[in-house]
Structure 1
Amino acid sequence: MKLLVVSDEESKYIWDYFDKNRFKDIEIIFSCGDLKQEYLSFLVSMINAPLYYVHGNHDTDYRGNPPEGCESIEDKVVSYKGLRIAGLGGCFKYGPGDFHYTEKQMRWRILKLKPKIWLHNGIDILLTHAPVYKLGDGDDYVHKGFECFINFMEVYKPKYLFHGHQHLNYGRNERIHRYNNTKIINGFGYYIVEF
């Protein structure tokens, strides 16, 4: 199964020069946040696959104008073709604003997901906007990752964690990290995953 992960910056390769044949095998699209609503609606209609998203720290417009044809999985667990997916958007709180969370607030959100994960008999993918602390986050406070995601991976052992927020063009990061059996992928721009 091929998955398309997108985040933070609309890809000209996809949006301006779209070729359906390049994405014909994509079965699910995941947005890790901070993308225009029109872009997500374009993806879901042109690729003809479901699109699940979480909020980035700049997605305040989504409240009144969510991307059409897409499904928010913020604080939810969903199943699609046997894949169990949990969503926890937002970033580490660096100032006032929607979708900013303290470490304590994110821990509380994870705790509230526990019964949903149990009902789905675990999860395969955790979809976030923020990275994991010291595993793909930035050195600055704005791009700091959540420590509680480490505990999440230890307890629930997802196969993948997809995130955004840390732009790869900042020149100080790698796209892929590992923690135990979880592959952590930064979805900046776009990335195709073979599940």
Structure 2
Amino acid sequence: MEEKPFEFKYFVIDDIYRDVLNSDDTFGISFQKCWVSLCGYIDSDTILSIMILSEMFALTIANDVKVYADDVKDIEKLLKLYNTLNVKNLLISSEYEYLKEDMKIIEYFYEKSKDVIKEGFPRRASDFFEEIPKFYVEKVLLGEDPNHRLENITEDNSFELDYLIYAYYYRGIFKDKLTEQQAFDRCLIKFKKYLEEDS
């Protein structure tokens, strides 16, 4: 079966956020557990490695989590792989759009942090950004990209829809401080069109 990049993106956010939500684990521990569960894909040096790692580090930056020296080395490897593979030709346009925009933020963070974060001295994204930027999924959810609207998602992009629903649900809990039920109810309203089509 052919793996879909968006399928891995929503697995990453669900795996990490759900673990933080339902256990006593910190974000960092949940990050490591997700890494272990996907290490076969991460170590494959393929487009899926890039999609998984970019999502993991996007979550780290977006949530202002501590970044350690080993993380910076992993980001460096991610950037090298991203610049080595012919990424644009390996993805459909929507997948590439998310990745391209997110990698700009990750690369900026790397350039600012690579000479600052040392062994035993982690730093956070807020140490390098005046305001932590919005990753592409958030721009799509908030309707801030005129070229990529929720109403344009088709059945062929079902994993993108799953990814957006999961992202919006966890955004409600972790960023907007909603209860799980409130976040769920808000998703029902936001994605009503698609949920009605599936019913």
TM-score range, shorter chain: 0.3 to 0.5
The structure with the larger Rg is 2
More helix, by proportion:
2
TM-score, scaled relative to structure 1: 0.37
More strand, by proportion:
1
